[in-house]
């Protein structure tokens, strides 16, 4: 029997499991060096050196409404933007540090504008909040696993007061949950070594979160990370186990279930190139058809896709990202019924693509033409009708002589003049809606 915390998690994540598709936005000072959001750690950059970007940050072309329209057109139902990344730079008008966007030449509360813009386009809104803070003087420096000054003994931890850091961290989260209206997601990042769970005073933090915004869903990184899901996979999750798991830069081979075998809400967070934050020289963009198929794969395994964009120093989403999302949007315009409110079909993965399902509708996502008809294994006699989802046109179940020996399966052709299905109506992913007989 699922315990109370699992029942509450299931109720809170209903919209999330139906939405299936969101935009991740990694943006901040690190867009200027343009070598990814870990540039301070990777290059062991002192804060003083990093401050030159603070003095320069002036995103003259930041128009979050454009971002929101792009996300909506791509078929995304929610968004999560970095309020603060590991560098400690705050994109909102926090009262707890001067290291914030309003104090840069930008002179704006970037979070406020993001939230207003995405809500105006009808998307749900979330914030990414780094529980790691490389700027804060009370956060461990020397010998920390990844702090920029981890190798420099001059930055030893003698006079650091971690409780004072936690007061600051909890205070900032309270600000975001109090001063910015209804939020839908808080995306914490991340725990490591002994820096996990109650080290962050996670039970106190979650009491505050649940009291301020009881509907809010939280990821699992108050105790986990991209390499460890934590107790969300157990039958007795901790109060800070989170409402969904977040595999990173991969899609779990069989989705995610807990030790009872019950599905756990999950969301794969994946970049369009190989960086979260803007990286000027990283032109290794995933092709649009691969991104469509990533989304279908997540849904076919009862999961979500949180697809990342990394805006540049001026506040523009890179043109290559826009082009991929626009192609995605055209496919979603025709086929979003096979994504929203869909999940695992309860069928083996077919040779030609994948299945998703919503009640008595199964969606065949066809990536490869199959000679001799597309085979729907063991579905003979169980199908009321087939329709090409993009247009609603009828597809007839085939009863050709050459299929006579395979009566337990159903077959269909996507064109009536040949024994193959080439070319597919949509080479990215042709979706056929299968209505099962009652």
Task: Point out which residues bind ligand GLC (CB under 6 A).
Answer: 26, 37-38, 189-190, 226, 248, 269, 276
| Closer to ligand GLC by Cβ: residue 229 or 356 | 229
- If the CB atoms of residues 184 and 189 are measured against ligand GLC, the closer one turns out to be 189
- Closest distance of CB 221 from ligand GLC, Å: 8
Q: Which residue has the tokens 């030449």?
A: 105
Place of tokens 């989802």: 389
Which one, 276 or 278, has the nearer CB to ligand GLC?
276
3-state secondary structure (DSSP) of residue 116: helix
E-state strands within 109-183: 124-130
Query: Of 67 and 276, which CB lies nearer to ligand GLC in the complex structure?
Result: 276
3 state SS of 178: helix
Distance of CA 422 to the CA centre of its chain: 34
Q: Which is nearer to ligand GLC, 152 or 225 (CB)?
A: 225
CA distances from residue 65 to 80, 118, 186, 242 in whole angstroms, order as listed? 14, 7, 21, 30
| Choice between 190 and 244, CB closer to ligand GLC | 190
Q: Residue 38 or residue 266: which is nearer to ligand GLC going by CB? A: 38
Residue 114: CB minimum distance to ligand GLC, A: 16
**How many whole angstroms separate alpha carbon 273 and alpha carbon 319?**
12
Q: How far apart are CA 155 and CA 219, in angstroms?
A: 32
What CA–CA distance (Å, rounded) separates 310 from 277?
A: 5
**Minimum distance, C-beta of residue 43 to ligand GLC, in the bound complex (Å):** 15
Q: How far is the CB of 399 from ligand GLC (least distance, A)?
A: 50
Annotate 10-74 with DSSP letters as a single string. HHHTHHHHHH-EEEEE--SGGGTTTB-TTHHHHTT--HHHHHHHHHH---TT--HHHHHHHHHHT
395 touches 403 (CB < 8 A): no
Residue with tokens 């850091």: 165
245 has which bridge partners? 266
Residue closer to ligand GLC (CB basis): 89 or 190: 190
Nearest distance from residue 38's CB to ligand GLC, in Å? 6
Q: Which of 136, 143, 156, 240 is nearest to 196 (CA)?
A: 240
Q: How far is the CB of 190 from ligand GLC (least distance, A)?
A: 5
Q: What does the alpha-carbon distance between residue 55 and residue 300 come to, in Å, rounded to a whole number?
A: 46
Residue 163 three-state SS? helix
The least CB distance from residue 6 to ligand GLC, in Å, is 24
* H/E run at residue 117: helix 110-120
Are residues 287 and 235 in contact, defined by beta-carbon separation less than 8 angstroms?
A: no
The minimum distance between CB 36 and ligand GLC, in angstroms, equals: 8
Closest CA to 342 of 36, 18, 2, 15: 18
Nearer to ligand GLC, 298 or 332 (CB): 298
Min dist CB 107 to ligand GLC, Å, is 25
Helix, strand, coil fractions of the chain, as percent rounded to 5: 30, 20, 50
Q: Which is nearer to ligand GLC, 144 or 189 (CB)?
A: 189
Shortest Å, Cβ 11 to ligand GLC: 25
């Amino acid at each position: 029997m699922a315990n109370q915390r699992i029942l509450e998690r299931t109720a809170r994540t209903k919209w999330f499991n139906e939405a299936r598709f969101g935009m991740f936005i990694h943006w901040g000072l690190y867009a200027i060096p343009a070598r990814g959001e870990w540039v301070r750690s990777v290059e062991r950059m002192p804060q003083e050196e990093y401050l030159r970007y603070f003095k320069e940050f002036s995103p003259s072309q930041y128009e979050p409404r454009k971002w929101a329209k792009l996300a909506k057109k791509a078929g995304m139902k929610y968004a999560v933007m970095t309020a603060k990344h590991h560098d400690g730079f705050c994109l909102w008008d926090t009262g707890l540090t001067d290291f914030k966007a309003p104090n840069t030449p930008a002179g704006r509360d970037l979070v406020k504008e993001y939230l207003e813009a995405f809500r105006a386009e009808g998307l749900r809104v979330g914030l990414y909040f780094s529980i790691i803070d490389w700027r804060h003087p009370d956060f461990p420096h020397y010998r920390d696993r990844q702090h920029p000054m981890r190798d420099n003994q001059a930055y030893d931890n003698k006079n650091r007061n971690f409780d004072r850091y936690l007061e600051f961290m909890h205070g900032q989260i309270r600000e975001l949950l109090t001063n910015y209206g209804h939020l839908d997601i808080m995306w914490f990042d991340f725990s490591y070594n002994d820096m996990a769970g109650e080290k962050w005073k996670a039970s106190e933090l979650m009491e505050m979160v649940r009291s301020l915004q009881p509907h809010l869903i939280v990821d699992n990184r108050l105790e986990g990370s991209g390499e460890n899901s934590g107790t969300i996979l157990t039958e007795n999750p901790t109060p800070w186990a989170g409402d969904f798991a977040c595999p990173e830069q991969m899609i779990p081979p069989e989705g995610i279930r807990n030790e009872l075998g019950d599905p756990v809400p999950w969301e794969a967070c994946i970049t369009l190139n190989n960086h979260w934050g803007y990286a000027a020289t990283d032109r290794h963009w995933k092709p649009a058809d691969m991104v469509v198929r990533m989304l279908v794969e997540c849904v076919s395994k009862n999961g979500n896709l949180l697809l990342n964009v990394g805006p540049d120093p001026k506040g523009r989403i890179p043109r290559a990202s826009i082009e991929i999302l626009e192609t995605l949007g055209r496919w979603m315009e025709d086929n979003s019924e096979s994504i929203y409110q869909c999940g695992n079909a309860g069928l083996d993965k077919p040779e030609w693509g994948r299945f998703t399902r919503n009640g008595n509708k199964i969606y065949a996502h066809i990536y490869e033409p199959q000679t001799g008809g597309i085979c729907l294994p063991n579905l003979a006699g169980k199908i009321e009708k087939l329709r090409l989802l993009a247009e609603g046109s009828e597809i007839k179940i085939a009863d050709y002589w050459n299929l006579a020996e395979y009566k337990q399966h159903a077959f269909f052709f996507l064109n009536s003049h040949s024994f193959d299905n080439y070319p597919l109506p949509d080479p990215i992913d042709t979706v056929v809606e299968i209505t099962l007989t009652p």
